[in-house]
Amino acid sequence: MITALGRWILRHFILLADLTRLIVAAFQDMLATFRHGRRPVFRVFLKQVYFTGMQAFKVIAVISLILGAVIITQIISLVGTGNESLIGRVTVWVVVRELGPLLTAIIVIARSGGAIATELGGMRINGEIESIESLGISTGHYLIMPRILGVATAVVILTIYFEIISILGGFTVAAIGWHMPFDPFFEAVFSSLTLNELAVSGAKSLCFGLFLTAACCREGLQVGKSLTEIPQAATSGVMHSLFLVFALDGILTLATLL
Amino acid sequence: MIEMLKADHIAVVGKFEDISFAAVHGELLVLLTPKEEINSTLTRLLLGATKPDRGDLTLFGRDIGSLPHSELLKIRQRIGVVFAGGGLVSNLKVWENLTLPLDYHSTLSSAVIEERGLATLQRVGYKGRLMDLPGHLSLYQRRQIGLGRAMLTDPDLMIFESPSQGLNQDERQAFIEVARSFHDGKPGRASLFLTSNPAMAELLQDARVVNLHKRQAT
């Protein structure tokens, strides 16, 4: 039991170290882009932002709207009407601190995480990665770095949209259902939205974006020569990403409370 | 004569045993192998993607097996490879595939790249669509784009992996003609044709032919 637990911890520690190395290499490669490959690498980056960010926007908008309505309904059922200031503050705490970054990352993992692992795994099996390397182009620079930074950028932007739509959606439901006035609610929302709250939300979404993509890229690149390894890589990438997102959320939340 | 590449008694377990050959600057070399599979392995060896189990392999005077990744990438910029299947990237359009290495390594403007790209397409005789994905192309078209992509970087060494495989007589003839004229376009450029088709030697009559059939145990 203890041995198995130790092995599990060690395995995940190695995974985390591997992913950190991949992310650090991505930032180093970003600097190398000033020397060569600016146009094609930027094209891959933009494609990634489009596929992960733009195409996921509708899903994010609908989910955040529904979630905002659910959250405010629960808060009102707990604290009652007439306490707009508290309702506004709790909404910010729940949405901005916690659910915004977390749920956005989970949606991105579901939409793009598996796709990235599958795409890279397919490229590996078809010999395309070797073909790119044969052109003197580094895989890390051309394939991995723009994906990691592209998804991280998309996650940060989607989180902002998630939070705005969620708060607006919640208020709309409360205004229609319980005739909540605009001014006291948004006064409470803006007074709770301190720089610290925004920084925590931004840091969480950035970390989630970086690590979830690194995990999926790592799994995709580890595909060998068999087609059956591609779905395995996708599943593994998604599971590792989910684990990392929850683990990082816990760590970052604890760190901000200390 | 300066040797551009030299394989000295190289072996890959399960693939081939004891292969030796060398190419000098400006040489046109046809390497006749016992089977197509060996061509792919040799291409990977020459690019430093894998190491031989035995023997030494030098490219531009440097031992390929001992080079770090960053050095390998630099050396590969001097090599143009036309893979048997074209070696195109499936999520890039034909035009993006063609101009990828030039766009990546050079500081040329988009207009110049476009001009050179279109000229190269004309030279290789590509008549398909530029915005198609490689999955929609025939093998010959994929290989034309692969050849054009290599030509755009003006390499010192060209490697053709199984160039006759899967092409009909006319396509083969046209492909070799373009490859031949490109070889002559730069003094000192060496071209290596890895093939198991003896007819290739007839198509490239002034090439030196190294027949590995007799030397192989497999």
Taking Cα atoms as reference points, which of A151, A23, A157, A26 lies closest to residue A101?
A: A157
Mean pLDDT of A177-187: 90
Cβ distance B110 to B129 under 8 Å? no
- What gap in Å lies between CA A53 and CA A35, rounded to an integer? 27
The pLDDT score that the predictor gives to residue B218 is: 36
User: Residue A129's closest chain B neighbor by CA?
Assistant: B89
Rounded to 5 degrees, what angle do the CA atoms A231, A236, A241 make? 130
- What gap in Å lies between CA A255 and CA A105, rounded to an integer? 19
Contacting B with CB below 8 Å, chain A residues are: 36-37, 39-41, 43, 119, 122-123, 126-128, 130-138, 142
Taking Cα atoms as reference points, which of A219, A36, A7 lies closest to residue B74?
A: A36
Residues of A in contact with B110 (CB under 8 A): 39
Mean pLDDT of A236-253: 94
The pLDDT score that the predictor gives to residue B39 is: 93
- Burial class from Cβ neighbours inside 10 Å (0-12, 13-18, 19+) for residue B8 reads middle
Cβ distance A146 to A41 under 8 Å? yes
CA distance B215 to chain A (A): 28
Low-confidence ranges of chain B (pLDDT < 50): 216-218
With the C-alpha atoms ordered A78, A84, A85, A90, is the resulting torsion angle positive or negative?
positive
User: Residue A130's closest chain B neighbor by CA?
Assistant: B49
B55 is written with which tokens? 């023997």
Cα torsion at A105, A106, A108, A113 (round to 10°)?
110
Taking Cα atoms as reference points, which of A211, A232, A212 lies closest to residue A222?
A: A232
Cβ distance A109 to A238 under 8 Å? yes
- Burial class from Cβ neighbours inside 10 Å (0-12, 13-18, 19+) for residue A226 reads exposed
CA distance A34 to chain B (A): 11
Tell whether B143 is within 8 A of chain A (Cβ): no
CA distance A241 to chain B (A): 24
Cβ contacts below 8 Å, chain A against chain B, sum to 69
Mean pLDDT of chain A: 93
Tell whether B172 is within 8 A of chain A (Cβ): no
Which of helix, strand or coil describes residue A180? coil
The pLDDT score that the predictor gives to residue A102 is: 96
pLDDT band at A35 (very low <50, low <70, confident <90, very high): confident
User: Residue B104's closest chain A neighbor by CA?
Assistant: A37
Contact A37 B105 (CB under 8 A): yes
Instruction: Give the burial string for A34-69 (b: 16+ CB within 10 Å, else e).
Output: eebbeebbeebbeebbebbbeebeeebbebbbebbb
- What gap in Å lies between CA A146 and CA A27, rounded to an integer? 10
CA distance B214 to chain A (A): 30
- Which of B47, B89, B92 should be substituted to probe chain A, the one whose Cβ sees the most A Cβ atoms within 10 Å? B89
Taking Cα atoms as reference points, which of B71, B9, B15, B67 lies closest to residue B43?
A: B15
Please enumerate in sequence order all residues whose Cβ is within 8 A of that of B36, keeping only pairs 6 or more positions apart, or say none: B84, B162, B165, B196
Q: What is the ipTM of this complex?
A: 0.91
Tell whether B157 is within 8 A of chain A (Cβ): no
Contact A134 B49 (CB under 8 A): yes
A136 is written with which tokens? 């003197």
- What gap in Å lies between CA B48 and CA B173, rounded to an integer? 30
The pLDDT score that the predictor gives to residue B217 is: 38
C-alpha distances in Å from residue B85, one per residue of A201, B143, B146, B160, B164: 47, 7, 9, 11, 11
- What gap in Å lies between CA A176 and CA A20, rounded to an integer? 47
* Strands B54-59 vs B62-63: parallel, antiparallel or unpaired: antiparallel
